[in-house]
């Protein structure tokens, strides 16, 4: 770049956008990068405070902010997303479908640690809708060394920073357990809650049975549901340590791989997660899912529907942010609940 007095810049090429701000009316570029300055442009440039202006001098070792921003997008962009128009060295990443956003945090930290460039994203492991903004990228100076951008690209040589996993409307089985429901002493109020939550994700309940506190019957029910095509099995109730609570034993006896019985989340500490034949989740849901606004189930369900395997280490990481504050007006997911993984 070369700095010139604005009055002397007629015929020169702008190397960056010139922004005009009219409060309450507009904030936009009055001149774009690449514009050739005319005599008529001088009063306009002066009116937006540009007594001096940068014009473009080509340097083979440097990149303009917009060219560098395209590189940053390429380091983020992946399937099911697209870029916004580049503007003032900024590009936003937009979702093409509903899905689960995944972030490679180590790559993100390394790129932002290089300096003179930035990528800001939503939290990872959160649901997004088609058209949502996933990330914003920007080069800080007007020009940046090509060598620095090459170092940034090297961080992402084995894959981009962002991944968007589409959600799949699964066939779901609900096994309601507990002698009090089985014998009709109380009404089953758990299943309707789950059905409503599943509707949000276009899931279909294909199997529902009520079981006494009989672990053999519950085990058989889980396997029967899977034989009938269930892609996700939800067992409600019987998750505490009382002698009559048999659901954890029943799930274990299916032969499913147990990931965790218990999670550092409130509400939801007695949550159980397992995988049958490594692909079909069998989940034990504690009673809080029936009455609390948001629980561990709201955190885990999108990942289960995106076929995004949940590990014991990830569940352990939920301790930070795993406390729901039970706000009078629930703003989830626009809050800190569950942002630890």
Nearest 10 degrees: CA dihedral of 26, 30, 32, 34? Answer: 180
* H or E element that contains 317: helix 312-317
DSSP E strand stretches across the chain:
2-5, 18-22, 26-31, 52-55, 62-64, 81-83, 90-95, 99-103, 117-121, 126-128, 133-139, 143-145, 162-166, 171-177, 204-211, 232-236, 257-261, 272-276, 280-285
Strands (E), 34-114: 52-55, 62-64, 81-83, 90-95, 99-103
Longest dimension (CA), the chain: 91
Torsion angles phi and psi, residue 15, rounded to 5? -105, 5
Q: What are the pLDDT digits (tens) for 77-87? A: 999 999 999 88
What pLDDT shows up at residue 284?
Answer: 97
Whole-angstrom distance, CA of residue 74 vs CA of residue 69: 9
Q: What is the pLDDT of residues 238-274, one digit of tens each?
A: 887 776 679 999 999 999 999 999 999 999 999 999 9
Residue 315 has pLDDT above 70, yes or no: yes
Task: List the domain boundaries for the chain.
Answer: 2-55, 62-166, 171-318
Mean pLDDT of the chain: 93
Section 28-40 average pLDDT: 84
Task: Quickly count: other Cβ atoms within 10 Å of residue 120's Cβ.
Answer: 11
Per DSSP, what are the bridge partners of residue 99? 128, 166
Homologous superfamily of the 171-318 domain (CATH)? MoaB/Mog-like domain (3.40.980.10)
Question: What pLDDT is attached to residue 244?
Answer: 64
> 10 Å Cβ neighbour count for 305?
25
CA dist 90 and 119 (Å) reads 10
Q: Which residue is it, tokens 């006896």?
A: 253
pTM of the model: 0.83
Give the DSSP letter string of 237-300.
Answer: S--SSSTT--HHHHHHTTTPEEEEE--S-BS-TT-EEEEETTTEEEEEE-THHHHSSS-HHHHH
Task: Report the relative pairing of strands 62-64 and 90-95 from DSSP bridges.
Answer: unpaired
Rounded-to-integer distance, Cα 140 and Cα 124, Å: 24
Q: Looking at the domain that runs over 2-55, which CATH code has it been given?
A: 3.90.105.10
Taking 90 as the threshold, does the pLDDT of residue 29 lie above it?
no
Is there a contact between 52 and 9 (Cβ–Cβ < 8 Å)? Answer: no
* Distance separating alpha carbons of residues 28 and 19, to the nearest angstrom: 5
| Token output for 74 | 């390429």
Average pLDDT over residues 129-149: 94
CATH T-level fold of 62-166: Aldehyde Oxidoreductase; domain 3 (3.90.1170)
Q: Do domains 2-55 and 62-166 have the same CATH topology?
A: no
Per-residue pLDDT at 100 exceeds 80: yes
Pairwise CA distance, residues 324 & 142, whole Å: 43
Among 16, 11, 9, 14, smallest CA distance to 144 is for: 16
Determine whether 308 is exposed, middle or buried from the number of CB atoms within 10 Å of its CB (0-12, 13-18, 19+): middle
Task: Tell me the per-residue pLDDT of 163-212, one tens digit each, with 9 for 90 and over.
Answer: 999 999 999 999 999 899 999 999 999 999 999 999 999 999 999 999 99
Strand partners, 268: none
Tokens read off for 15: 């190397």
Q: Which two tokens stand for residue 97?
A: 């479908």
């Amino acid at each position: 770049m070369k700095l010139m007095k604005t009055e002397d810049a007629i015929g020169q090429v702008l190397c960056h956008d010139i922004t005009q701000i009219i409060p309450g009316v507009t904030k936009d570029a009055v001149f774009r990068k690449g514009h050739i300055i005319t005599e008529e442009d001088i009063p306009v440039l002066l009116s937006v405070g540009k007594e001096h202006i940068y014009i473009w001098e080509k340097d083979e070792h440097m990149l303009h902010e917009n060219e560098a921003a395209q590189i940053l997008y390429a380091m983020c962009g992946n399937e099911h997303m697209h870029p916004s128009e580049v503007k003032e060295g900024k590009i936003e990443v937009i979702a093409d479908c509903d899905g689960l956003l995944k972030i490679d945090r180590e790559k993100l930290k390394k790129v932002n640690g290089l300096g003179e460039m930035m990528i800001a994203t939503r939290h990872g492991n959160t649901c997004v809708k088609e058209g949502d903004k996933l990330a914003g990228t920007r080069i800080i100076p007007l020009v940046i060394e090509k060598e620095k951008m090459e170092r940034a690209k090297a961080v992402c040589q084995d894959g981009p920073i962002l991944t968007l996993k589409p959600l799949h409307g699964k066939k779901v089985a609900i096994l309601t357990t507990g002698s009090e429901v089985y014998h009709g002493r109380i009404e089953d109020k758990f299943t309707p809650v789950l059905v409503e939550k599943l509707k949000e994700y276009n899931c279909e309940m294909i199997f529902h049975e009520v079981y006494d506190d009989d672990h053999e019957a519950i085990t058989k029910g889980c396997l029967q549901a899977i034989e009938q095509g269930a892609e996700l099995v939800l067992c409600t109730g019987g998750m505490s340590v009382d002698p009559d609570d048999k659901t954890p034993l029943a799930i274990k006896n299916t032969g499913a791989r147990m990931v965790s019985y218990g999670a550092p989340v409130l509400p939801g500490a007695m949550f159980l997660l397992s995988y049958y034949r490594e692909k079909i989740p069998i989940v034990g849901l504690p009673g809080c899912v029936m009455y609390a606004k948001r629980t561990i189930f709201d955190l885990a369900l999108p990942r289960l529907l995106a076929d995004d395997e949940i590990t014991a280490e990830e569940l352990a990481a939920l301790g930070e942010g795993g406390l729901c504050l039970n706000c009078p007006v629930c703003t989830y997911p626009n809050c800190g609940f569950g942002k630890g993984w």
